[in-house]
Amino acid sequence: MKRLKSPDAKEANVNVPVIAPGHTFGSITEKISSVVLKRRTSKGWFFGFAIGFSLLMLLLYTITYLVTTGIGIWGNNIPVGWAFDIIDFVWWIGIGHAGTLISAILLLLRQEWRTSINRFAEAMTLMAVLCAGLYPVLHTGRPWLAYWLFPYPNTMGVQPQFRSPLMWDVFAVSTYLTVSFLFWFVGLIPDMGTLRDRSTKRFAKAVYGMLSLGWRGSADHWRRYKIAYLLLAGLSTPLVLSVHTIVSFDFAVSVIPGWHTTIFPPYFVAGAVYSGFAMVLTLSIPIRRIYGLTDFITMRHLNNMAKVMLAMGLVVGYGYAMEAFIAWYSGNKYEWAMAYNRWTGPYAWSYWSLIACNIVIPQLLWIRKIRASTIWLFILSLVINIGMWLERFVIIATSLRRDFLPSSWATYKPSFWDFGMFLGTIGLFLTLLFLFIRFLPVINIFEMRELLHEKEAHEAGGEGHQ
Amino acid sequence: MAEFHSPEALVEAASRARDAGYRCMDAYSPFPVEPLDDIIEKRGPYLPLLVLIGGAVGAVAGYALQYYVSVIYYPLNVGGRPYNSWPSFIPITFETMILFASLTAVFGMLGLNRLPQPYHPVFNVRRFAMASNDRFFLCIEAVDPKFNTGETHKFLEGLSPDHVSVVQH
């Protein structure tokens, strides 16, 4: 990390191109594929992978202890029946959403700057959803029976309850995982062909060859490929909104004070996008530096992501304000007691740090100099990640510990295993991420070539083509 | 098979080949080149229609599953709500619709493109490895009624390509 502080704030201006000048189709191919094929695995990679892998071992240890002992090792107990498992689930799912947003919605809106970050963001989605999926499965207590969640003909003669938001969640998350995987894989097929043709080792050639499905770039194939890709983007867009809406239904459809509100779906979706963009920044800032991809992930990308983050932060801020306002305006004493308890009760620290992390500190993003500094963006993205985690903690823990009857009140304290599992899923995420960086092209190569071609055609100004 | 170094040259060559009466040909490029869509013969059914059908089937199947389970197979009275509580069934109906449509889009695309196809004669040409990097190829297939090894070769040479090769198969 040499140039931590950007020397010139203007670098973040819109005039910065999405690809640095001087690149050809060949140089794009060379630069991106060499990360996978030619460059020696760097020390930084081993360092990062080692951290991820150690945390993954912690996860396996935690899961083993959990499965052999029972979910009593977690801190949650009635009335706080949901705690870290659901907090982390929502946090991970939310992080995943930015990937779909970048790859699908920005594609439909023809935001060309998305091209160099979409592959990476999609991979992040996939890994985040995997981490998220672990929690509800393990929270069932008997993960080996998790298939009971799905309707299937069985000898017990029972079937799932489709009126429950938890069932909706099962379908939403499994559909999301499947579609995210398809979207990511379809995007990878032509690049697998490139890696197949460029790799010199026999084994790598065979593996990439198989994964490329024999892609040969035929015009007829490309035509259909583009249609399919666009349709997938069109399908993913409502899907991603529906997934987090359904996640928020897990809360909003219940009657618990602090959960039973109609603002939840939009406010959850905005929060998801917020935390997701923060995570994309957290990951892409070091990666572009270490792998010399600053030509492709330029300050323009970082600046744009910072702006999206700022906008989403304001939407989330509106959500918080509305929650507080409705608690008062509804005249419902349970709602008001809950809100008052959040602000002044034993967990007030979490509420106020959440406000600081998600609303107050990110206002720095208004300043152009801050958006132009990678180190500041990196710090702010971490702050927002923490803030979004706290948001779910506040929603879940403070609402559950005080419901209607004082006789069922309790305090909640997470146990060591709660933290172990959380750090463990971060390990799973990092491990998968480092494997992805090492073995697959982090940037969509063929889209970069197309982008370069469009740019050149644009500059040529209608000589021979429009 | 002729090799070119820019998408514009490929488009130019493909349209001249079409004007010369060749029909069974294919162009290969490292990224989608839009003008080729109108020049190269289209084959097979229309993908968006398949996806629409997939989505419709998904929605009907999703709702039917919930209806069957909640009304016929395992009716449960929850607070006097109707067995067919359709508003609660919308989220899952929506998800299965998206799921089926997406699966149709991906597998439809692969199926109509006849992928996975590990072997194809074009890979016999060594230089074809560049088709996934920065070279553009136009291939006139031997099944074309106008095809004649000598004449087609000459024709391709006339398109000012970087290289012309014969595809063994």
What percent of chain A has a predicted confidence (pLDDT) above 70?
95
The count of other CB atoms within 10 Å of the CB of residue A109 is 10
CB pair distance less than 8 Å for B95 and A217: no
**Separation CA A368–CA A303 (nearest Å):** 9
Chain A within 8 Å of B148 (Cβ-Cβ)?
no
Residue A461: per-residue pLDDT: 56
Nearest CB to B28 within list A216, A228, A446: A216
CB pair distance less than 8 Å for A238 and B98: yes
Distance from CA of A205 to the nearest CA of B (A): 12
Residue A298: per-residue pLDDT: 85
Distance from CA of A370 to the nearest CA of B (A): 37
pLDDT in tens, A245-283: 999 999 999 888 889 888 999 999 999 999 999 999 998
Cβ-Cβ contacts under 8 Å, B112 against chain A: 224
The residue among B22, B15, B20, B17 whose CA lies nearest residue B39 is B15
Domain ranges across chain A: 9-149+176-452
Cβ-Cβ contacts under 8 Å, A213 against chain B: 110, 115-117
CB pair distance less than 8 Å for B8 and A464: yes
CB pair distance less than 8 Å for B74 and A465: no
**Separation CA A250–CA A229 (nearest Å):** 31
CB pair distance less than 8 Å for A235 and B98: yes
Chain A within 8 Å of B22 (Cβ-Cβ)?
no
Domain ranges across chain B: 2-43+122-164, 47-112
Residue found under tokens 């081993």: A46
Residue A15: per-residue pLDDT: 56
- Report the run of H or E that residue A115 belongs to, with start and end: helix A115-139
**pLDDT score of A11 more than 60:** no
Cβ-Cβ contacts under 8 Å, A194 against chain B: 30, 132-133
pLDDT band at A460 (very low <50, low <70, confident <90, very high): low
pTM across the whole model: 0.89
Paired tokens of B78 = 């929850």
The residue among B29, B12, B37 whose CA lies nearest residue B161 is B12
The count of other CB atoms within 10 Å of the CB of residue A441 is 24
Q: Three-state SS for A77? A: strand
Residue B162: per-residue pLDDT: 80
pLDDT in tens, A68-122: 999 899 988 888 888 888 999 999 999 988 888 888 888 888 777 788 788 888 8
**pLDDT score of A218 more than 60:** yes
Q: Give the number of residues written for chain B.
A: 169
pLDDT band at A16 (very low <50, low <70, confident <90, very high): low
Q: Three-state SS for B119? A: coil
**pLDDT score of A237 more than 60:** yes
Residue A99: per-residue pLDDT: 84
> What would the DSSP string read from start to end of A155-208?
TT-----TTSHHHHHHHHHHHHHHHHHHHHHHHHHHHHHHHHHH--SHHHHHHH
Distance from CA of A306 to the nearest CA of B (A): 30
Identity of residue A45: W
CB pair distance less than 8 Å for A161 and B96: no
Helices (H) and strands (E) in chain A, counts: 17, 0
**pLDDT score of A13 more than 50:** no
pLDDT averaged over chain B? 86
- Report the run of H or E that residue B28 belongs to, with start and end: strand B25-28
Cis peptide before A79 (omega within 30 of 0): yes
CB pair distance less than 8 Å for A167 and B112: no
Dihedral, A387, A391, A393, A396 alpha carbons, nearest 10: -170
Chain A within 8 Å of B80 (Cβ-Cβ)?
no
Nearest CB to A162 within list B33, B89, B94: B89
Average pLDDT over residues A388-395: 92
**Separation CA A30–CA A33 (nearest Å):** 5
Q: Which of A34-48, A359-373, A383-397 has the lowest mean pLDDT?
A: A34-48
CB pair distance less than 8 Å for A453 and B31: yes
pLDDT in tens, A120-146: 888 999 999 999 999 999 998 899 999
**pLDDT score of A5 more than 60:** no
Average pLDDT over residues A409-422: 90
Average pLDDT over residues A287-304: 83
Identity of residue A93: I
Cβ-Cβ contacts under 8 Å, A238 against chain B: 94, 98
Which residues does chain B have with pLDDT short of 70? 43-44
- The single-letter DSSP state of residue A461 is T
- Report the run of H or E that residue B81 belongs to, with start and end: none
**pLDDT score of A464 more than 60:** no
Backbone angles phi, psi at A360, to 5 degrees: -75, -60
CB pair distance less than 8 Å for B133 and A216: no
Region class of B166: left (phi > 0), else alpha (psi between -120 and 50), else beta: beta
**pLDDT score of A2 more than 50:** no
CB pair distance less than 8 Å for A228 and B106: yes
- Cβ partners under 8 Å of residue A115, min gap 6: A18, A443, A444, A447, A448, A451
CB pair distance less than 8 Å for A161 and B41: no
**Separation CA A143–CA A17 (nearest Å):** 49
Distance from CA of A214 to the nearest CA of B (A): 5
pLDDT in tens, A297-341: 888 889 988 999 999 999 999 999 999 999 999 999 889 999 999
Which range among A49-58, A114-123, A191-200, B156-165 has the greatest average pLDDT? A49-58
pLDDT averaged over chain A? 87
Residue A14: per-residue pLDDT: 47
Chain A within 8 Å of B92 (Cβ-Cβ)?
yes
Q: ipTM score here?
A: 0.89
> What would the DSSP string read from start to end of A253-304?
TS--TTT--TTHHHHHHHHHHHHHHHHHHHHHHHHHHHTT-TTTS-HHHHHH
Q: Please list the alpha-helical segments (H only) found in B33-85.
A: 36-39, 47-67
Question: Which of A100, A154, A162, A453 should be substituted to probe chain B, the one whose Cβ sees the most B Cβ atoms within 10 Å?
Answer: A162
Q: Three-state SS for A195? A: helix
Distance from CA of A256 to the nearest CA of B (A): 18
For B41, which residue in chain A has the nearest alpha carbon?
Answer: A220
Q: Three-state SS for B19? A: helix
Counting one residue from A and one from B, how many pairs have CB atoms under 8 Å apart? 192
Find residues 101-130 of chain B whose CB sits inside 8 Å of chain A. 101-103, 105-106, 108-110, 112-113, 115-120, 122-123, 128-130
CB pair distance less than 8 Å for A220 and B43: yes
Residue B4: per-residue pLDDT: 84
Backbone angles phi, psi at B2, to 5 degrees: -110, 145
Region class of A388: left (phi > 0), else alpha (psi between -120 and 50), else beta: alpha
**pLDDT score of A6 more than 80:** no
Distance from CA of B98 to the nearest CA of A (A): 6
Nearest CB to B30 within list A25, A242, A464: A25
CB pair distance less than 8 Å for B132 and A194: yes
For B104, which residue in chain A has the nearest alpha carbon?
Answer: A228
Chain A within 8 Å of B28 (Cβ-Cβ)?
yes
Residue A34: per-residue pLDDT: 79
- Cβ partners under 8 Å of residue A461, min gap 6: none
The count of other CB atoms within 10 Å of the CB of residue B9 is 18
What percent of chain A has a predicted confidence (pLDDT) above 90?
47
**pLDDT score of A391 more than 90:** yes
Chain A within 8 Å of B8 (Cβ-Cβ)?
yes
**Separation CA A181–CA A130 (nearest Å):** 11
- Report the run of H or E that residue A442 belongs to, with start and end: none
CB pair distance less than 8 Å for B36 and A222: yes
CB pair distance less than 8 Å for B117 and A214: yes
The residue among A164, A141, A163 whose CA lies nearest residue A71 is A141
